[in-house]
Structure 1
Amino acid sequence: MFRKILLVILLAACMTNLWAKDITGIWQQIDDKSGAAKAIIVIFKEDNNTYSGKIVKITPRPGYTPREKCNNCPAPYTNQPILGMTIIRGLKHVEGTNNYEKGKVIDPLVGKIYDAKMRLNNTGKRLTLRASIGVSVLGRNQTWIRAD
């Protein structure tokens, strides 16, 4: 009996660890300045083994009217609807870690494209996005919470 319980616990721990290292899924984007939920983003793996993220829902907030189109965005984002927009592209998993690097993220509210890194916490429930231009030290973080 004890061996069966131990085996079940070990299997559950292994499965949790495998799941925790995968960023694919549904994430709630949290505004780093206000702490309010901003959007729901689906992260998926591309055929070339990179990860991308698409906005699937804009979270309504009191006193805020969301923009419908990308504001001052460069091509190929020019005048694209924000809902359905792929805002993250090219993230690559760093083998043996919970880190994803060398991606790009666009802020559709200001039209700027940033270098992107992501780090998944050990439980697999929080994802930290680091967006920067040039030097990572000059960037800012945003926390996303797993919603699926």
Structure 2
Amino acid sequence: MKKILLTTLLLILTITINAQTIFGKWNSRTDEGVVDSVLEIYEKEGKAFAKVVEIMNPDRKDARCVDCEGEFKNKPILGLDILSGLEKDDDEWSGGTIIDPRNGKTYKCYIELVKPNKLKLRGYIGVSLFGKTAYWERAE
């Protein structure tokens, strides 16, 4: 009986810890509220990055970032690292950039876990006052 109780507590603790991190898979929504892609946030050398791991619209599976500039120009959106170089600063990750493959623009950004399964992402130009906030929900 003790083994079952200990295993259950360990499992609950593991689930709780994993749910309180920015890392994992997240649903990105259009302005209309429709999930259009799944992004995976991962850590590399102490910084946070995110790549597109799934595109929901079958007609867009082979879409390319035609409006992007530089190294991202005409790259497939599936597998594209759209979020890069964020560093942990208290409760948020900041100092990085995000590319919007819909329009090809690059913004400064920060992200913050506002609930265990809800992530606040703010993209902006210059100062965060001039920008847009999106909320991503953890993908299951």
Alignment match, 1:84: 79
Are the counterparts in 2 of residues 20 and 121 from structure 1 also a CA contact under 8 Å?
no
Residue number among 93, 104, 112 corresponding to 2:97 in the alignment: 104
Alignment match, 1:52: 49
**Higher relative contact order, structure no. (Cα contacts within 8 Å, ≥ 6 residues apart):** 1
Q: Which ranges of structure 1 fall in alignment gaps of 5 or more residues? A: none
Over 3 Å counting, the alpha-carbon distance change for 1:13 and 1:111 in structure 2 is same
Over 3 Å counting, the alpha-carbon distance change for 1:14 and 1:60 in structure 2 is closer
Q: Does residue 29 of the first structure (1) align with residue 28 of the second (2)?
A: yes
CA RMSD of aligned residues (A): 2.3
Distance across 1 between alignment mates of 2:56 and 2:37: 5
Mapping of 1:1-148 within 5 angstroms?
12=12, 16=16, 18-31=17-30, 33-46=31-44, 48-60=45-57, 65-66=59-60, 68-95=63-90, 97=91, 99-122=92-115, 124-148=116-140
Distance across 2 between alignment mates of 1:77 and 1:14: 37
Q: TM-score, normalised by structure 2?
A: 0.83
Q: Number of matched residues? A: 132
Q: What do the CA deviations read for 1:37-89 (whole angstroms, capped 9, x no partner)?
A: 1200011000x20010000111228xxx5371102211110110111101000
Structure (1 or 2) with the greater strand fraction: 2
Are the counterparts in 1 of residues 20 and 117 from structure 2 also a CA contact under 8 Å?
no
